[in-house]
Chains A and B, each alone.
Chain A
Amino acid sequence: MNWITRFLTSSLGQKVIMSLTGIFLILFLVVHMTGNLQLLANDGGRSFNVYAEFMSENPFIRVISIGLYAFILLHAIQGIVLYLANRKAKGSTHSTGKVAGATWASKNMALLGILIFAFLCLHMGDFWFKMRFTDQLQMVTYDGHHTAVQDIYSRVSAAFQNVWIVIIYLVGVFALAIHLVHGFQSSFQSLGINHKKYTPTINAIGWIYTILITSGFAIMPLYFFLQ
């Protein structure tokens, strides 16, 4: 067998794929969250709409976003493949008690992943799809900006008046938080990065990252709903 096929199909190689795609998604969330904080700018949506237009028109961002969609799918498909292989490997279980050590998050990454994926489908259908493939959004012009831009801000603002949409977003963000708590440090372990000198730091950064990113995301629907 070719060495690269052997590596990528081995149990350890499959975990490396999960780890590397996971780290890419972790980095993406930083950009996505900080960029979207412009929703809170209190300027009638100008900075957010101009930013959204830049993100959808810039050729470099377009290429990266295709990579992002591919990595989301790869992470999801590889995750399902691992989940099914692991269920088969465990076989029957009649166990009456509970083993020590493993956290609920670490044992339910596939379930959390499916929840996050379902949320992503709703999320992208609501905003990304409407912006890219339909004419539903109003065009607005701003003084000093060269072209008219789509008013995605109003769509976001309108969506978050609906209590059910707010609840779905909060549940999605909560599932993401639990997924990240395990996923962040796990991605380093799968790459072989674990040492008593720095692993406590990685774990601490994982917690801080998860709290900052998910509370940032949770604030957005609440901000519009409570306004």
Chain B
Amino acid sequence: MKLTLHVWRQKAANDPGTFEKHNVEADEHMSFLEMLDVLNQTLIEQKKEPIAFEHDCREGICGACSMMINGRPHGPLNGTTACQLHMRHFKDGDQIWIEPFRAKAFKVVRDLVVDRSSFDRIIQAGGFISVNTGQAVDGNTIPIEKERSSSSMDAAACIGCGACVAACPNGSAMLFTAAKAAHLGILPQGEVEEDRRVLSMVTQMDKEGFGRCSNTYACEAECPKEISVTNIARLNRAYLKASLRSDL
């Protein structure tokens, strides 16, 4: 299949950047990133600068491929990352627009590579539980009911890719922060530090310059792991509770 790509090219964070047109011949069995590999190989052979894009696992769980494909985070297929999007979802002769995730808190490093370290700082602020290191505890030492462990695991599916921020008209990181706070807070091991956790994570989230959630739910629709916005309601509740009941 023959495709016309309009790829965002930007040399550095302060470069204004622009779309660049490329023609590429792709196979329908290729993943979207493999199609970009083919294009990059051609560019290298022509002694041109290859397109910078991030990838790690290519199994849909690392969350590195922070790109908008035809205006949607990770492309037109719901519940997938760009590496799991295959070219059979496009047609011969298609025009495809590829650009990096956009938000003030996500600076473009180069081309399609975005600096998402603001997410790391939210995690550092409180997205953990305090335990002594050493031998791992035996499994099932603390009994946890099925419903709780399931909701926690649903929230823990978040891969921190930033699609929620890119999809949000406000550039809000609420779905990410809410999922991270929920997957720890729902379990007994994480519950004890919930107040400190949500207060610190929300403070850090605001400090990073993310927008305010206006409940458009575009994040849930575009999340490759289909994280539910009920986690956002849970964070709203937990933050209100922590503000009223804790000494912090």
- A interface, how many residues as a size bin? 35 or more
Can you report 22 A-B residue pairs in the complex whose CB atoms are below 8 A from each other? A11-B210, A11-B212, A12-B213, A89-B104, A89-B170, A89-B211, A89-B212, A91-B171, A93-B102, A94-B19, A96-B70, A96-B97, A98-B72, A99-B71, A99-B167, A100-B167, A102-B167, A106-B214, A186-B214, A189-B236, A190-B215, A192-B240
Q: Mark B residues whose CB is within 8 Å of A.
A: 6, 8, 19, 68, 70-73, 78, 97, 99, 102-105, 167-172, 174, 202-203, 205-206, 209-222, 229-230, 232-240, 243, 248
Whether A85 touches B169, Cβ cut-off 8 Å, given contacts A101-B222, A194-B230, is no
Q: Mark A144-174, 1 if CB is under 8 A from B, else 0.
A: 0000000000000000000000000000000
A134 within 8 A of B: no
Q: Is the interface of A mostly helix, strand, loop or mixed?
A: helix
Among residues of A, the one whose C-beta sits closest to the C-beta of B230 is: A194
A95 and B102 contacting across the interface, CB-CB below 8 Å: yes
A101 and B167 contacting across the interface, CB-CB below 8 Å: yes
Q: Mark A197-217, 1 if CB is under 8 A from B, else 0.
A: 001000000000000000000
A101 and B217 contacting across the interface, CB-CB below 8 Å: yes
A window 174-203: CB within 8 A of B: 182, 185-186, 189-196, 199
Bound complex: CA A93 to CA B103 (Å) = 8
Among residues of B, the one whose C-beta sits closest to the C-beta of A19 is: B236
B218 and A101 contacting across the interface, CB-CB below 8 Å: yes
User: Which residues of chain A come closer than 8 Å to B71, judged between CB atoms?
Assistant: 95-99
A106 and B217 contacting across the interface, CB-CB below 8 Å: yes
Bound complex: CA A12 to CA B215 (Å) = 12
A193 and B102 contacting across the interface, CB-CB below 8 Å: no
Tell me the smallest distance from the CB of B32 to a CB of chain A, in Å: 15
B213 and A15 contacting across the interface, CB-CB below 8 Å: yes
Whether A89 touches B233, Cβ cut-off 8 Å, given contacts A12-B202, A99-B71, A189-B215, is no
B211 and A86 contacting across the interface, CB-CB below 8 Å: yes
Whether A103 touches B216, Cβ cut-off 8 Å, given contacts A12-B202, A12-B236, A191-B240, is yes
The segment out of A2-10, A27-35, A62-70, A122-130 that lies at the interface is A2-10
Whether A102 touches B217, Cβ cut-off 8 Å, given contacts A15-B236, A97-B97, is yes
A91 and B236 contacting across the interface, CB-CB below 8 Å: no
A85 and B230 contacting across the interface, CB-CB below 8 Å: no
Tell me the smallest distance from the CB of B109 to a CB of chain A, in Å: 15
Apart from A99-B221, A182-B215, A193-B233, what 20 extra A-B contacts exist at CB < 8 Å? A7-B240, A10-B239, A14-B212, A15-B236, A16-B240, A85-B211, A86-B170, A88-B104, A94-B19, A95-B71, A99-B222, A100-B167, A101-B167, A103-B216, A106-B215, A107-B216, A185-B215, A190-B213, A192-B235, A192-B237
